Structure 1
Amino acid sequence: MTKRKILIIEKASELFAENGFNATSVQDITDACGISKGAFYLSFKSKDSLLFSIFEYFSSKLMNRMSGISDYKVNSKERLVLFFSIQFEEIARYSDFILMHMREQTNPINKEMMGIVNEMRQKTYEMQENLLIDVYGEEIQQHMPDLLVLLSGVVKGYIEIIVFNKDVLDYDGLARFIVERTDSLVMGLSEPFLKSEQLVGYNRVGSDLLITTKMLIKDIELLKLEITDDDLLVSLDVIQLELSLQEYRKPVLTGMMSNLENHVVTEKVLLKMKLFLGM
């Protein structure tokens, strides 16, 4: 993302939070950024597309910060504390913008937006699962869906306080409090209640409406970094190129997908492709 786009995103998010989305004009944004309208439209097609980019930008920042937890030279429980505290810090930083978006019901959730939401949910579950196993051991794997739902509900409750009440909380202290409660939850586990397939976004995709070509291309790019098989790489290259077209050809995609069958490493991408194409 260019410096100009980041500038527009950050200034616009401040203006939207302060004045509201509908009351903020493109002229207001360009004045705040010190750029022309022409420069604005070179970066964004419209104010609506800018709003989507703000959401995407904030989501990426949050995911990048949480992904960097593994770089901290602390023990596994401290990493779990960081996982929660980072979420609270980022939500608090943009709470005014989030509240504005909720109140004005701007830019109703569409296919692309749902794609980002689903991708965030899945990545968050994956990171949280790894952290929980590091802290409590492999034996809690069977309880993971229940744990993720319980912790998600707790975290959501505190996020609502941060956003709606505008209370400045001790986010590190709150994260430690939640980890202590997690200790208690783990100690009280008996028989699992939920199965993994009942939890949307947990090692699966909820529906084809939540998958976008952008998500698939990104997944393919990451997958290619793990693969050394030339035949698989060629098939993935063709699929990626086809998805990047304005109108992809389903027969081409299905033909290349057949080459991905019966390979463990391609299972996830193949499943997403099938759901995306309605197969």
Structure 2
Amino acid sequence: MTKKQLILEKASELFAKQGFEATSVQQITDYCGISKGAFYLSFKSKDELVQTLIDQVMMRYISDIDHIVNRSENENDTLFDFYYTSYHFFEKHSDFAKIFIKEQMHSINEEVLTKLQSYNRTLEELILSMIHRIYGDTVNPFKYDFMYYIKSFLNAFSDLFLYYNAPINLELMCESLVEKTNLIASHTKTTFITEEIGLLLQQPNHEDITMTQLLILLKKKIDELEESIEKESLILIKEDLQNPVYSLAIIKGLIGNLKGNPKCKQIAYILSHYYQI
């Protein structure tokens, strides 16, 4: 075992007992039986150590889920394997998860929170990919709703590993969740999270939305609308994205034409952020 790995393992044990904030570098080095100098040869700070731990744990989980979603051979077992792998992971790493529950969010630095958000978005993308693989285009109208249903199952049932000591039949629980997920897929009729909202959820920093993504949304919205000033405004904006000719003031006016139509409010919001107006 390398010195860096020793520090990671011993620090993880201390964090599980005391939390991030209450554990000092001195305590970590004493627990490892090394000097502070040896610690700082491996990590610049305690924050970097925490970040490395998060990377290790989350990369294992994301890698396992990616294999199930994109590389497993039996599609019929994909959903069961997804739930089983996730809950087995929660069970194995419950002490690590409890650290975040104990800690006040303000005690975890912004860089760590950003990294956690990045892993969360990667998980959402994998769930969307899994949904498409299992159910095809039939769930496209409510795929973002569906993704959140699956995430809600993960979050709600993970409490069983974090707060309760009762024995859990993991296979039975996952079979039950597969059954419920399939029922949702076959009976859902109403869509809440539209394509526009879904894009915003996946790209919390609106300036990260690409022109290609925006053009796809515009085309879809244009096809949905009947002839109107809103449709004409969207056509002009789409053309300008591909071949800029209008001033920002004109674009602002075209976006303003959209805001009074309930069907166009979301796309108007996305466009406003994209153009930063």
TM-score by length of 2: 0.66
Q: How does 1:207-218 map to 2 (within 5 A)?
A: 207=205
Asked if 2 retains the 8 angstrom alpha-carbon contact of 1:99 and 1:164, the reply is no
Matched residues in 2 for 1:201 and 1:3: separation?
Answer: 42
The aligned residue for residue 241 of structure 1 is: none
The aligned residue for residue 161 of structure 2 is: 162
The aligned residue for residue 136 of structure 1 is: 135
Asked if 2 retains the 8 angstrom alpha-carbon contact of 1:145 and 1:199, the reply is yes
**Structure 1 residue 168, shift from structure 2 partner:** 4.7
The aligned residue for residue 33 of structure 1 is: 32
The aligned residue for residue 98 of structure 2 is: 99
Supply the AA of the counterpart residue of 1:206: P
Unaligned 5+ segments in structure 1 are 212-260, 263-274
Unaligned 5+ segments in structure 2 are 209-240, 243-272
Deviations 1:187-220 (A, max 9, x none): 1122322213324775x311269x8xxxxxxxxx
Supply the AA of the counterpart residue of 2:119: M
Matched residues in 1 for 2:188 and 2:206: separation?
Answer: 34
Supply the AA of the counterpart residue of 2:159: E
Matched residues in 2 for 1:71 and 1:170: separation?
Answer: 26
Supply the AA of the counterpart residue of 2:67: G
Aligned-residue RMSD, C-alpha: 3.1
Task: Name segments (4+ residues, structure 1) moved above 6 Å.
Answer: none
The aligned residue for residue 54 of structure 1 is: 53
Supply the AA of the counterpart residue of 2:205: S
Deviations 1:228-259 (A, max 9, x none): xxxxxxxxxxxxxxxxxxxxxxxxxxxxxxxx
Asked if 2 retains the 8 angstrom alpha-carbon contact of 1:145 and 1:194, the reply is yes
Matched residues in 1 for 2:2 and 2:63: separation?
Answer: 18
Matched residues in 2 for 1:36 and 1:168: separation?
Answer: 42
**Structure 1 residue 49, shift from structure 2 partner:** 2.9
Is residue 111 from structure 1 mapped to residue 100 from structure 2 by the alignment? no
Matched residues in 2 for 1:34 and 1:67: separation?
Answer: 38
Q: 1:5 to 1:169 in 2, by over 3 A?
A: farther
Q: 2:204 aligns with which of 203, 206, 209?
A: 206
Q: How does 1:177-216 map to 2 (within 5 A)?
A: 177-199=176-198, 202=201, 204-207=202-205
Supply the AA of the counterpart residue of 1:38: G
Supply the AA of the counterpart residue of 1:71: R
**Structure 1 residue 16, shift from structure 2 partner:** 1.4
Q: Give the paired residue count.
A: 214
Larger radius of gyration: 2
What percentage of aligned pairs have identical amino acids?
Answer: 28
Supply the AA of the counterpart residue of 2:118: E
Is residue 72 from structure 1 mapped to residue 72 from structure 2 by the alignment? yes
TM-score by length of 1: 0.65
Which is helix-richer, 1 or 2?
A: 2
**Structure 1 residue 184, shift from structure 2 partner:** 0.7
SS state of the match for residue 137, structure 1? helix
Asked if 1 retains the 8 angstrom alpha-carbon contact of 2:128 and 2:144, the reply is no
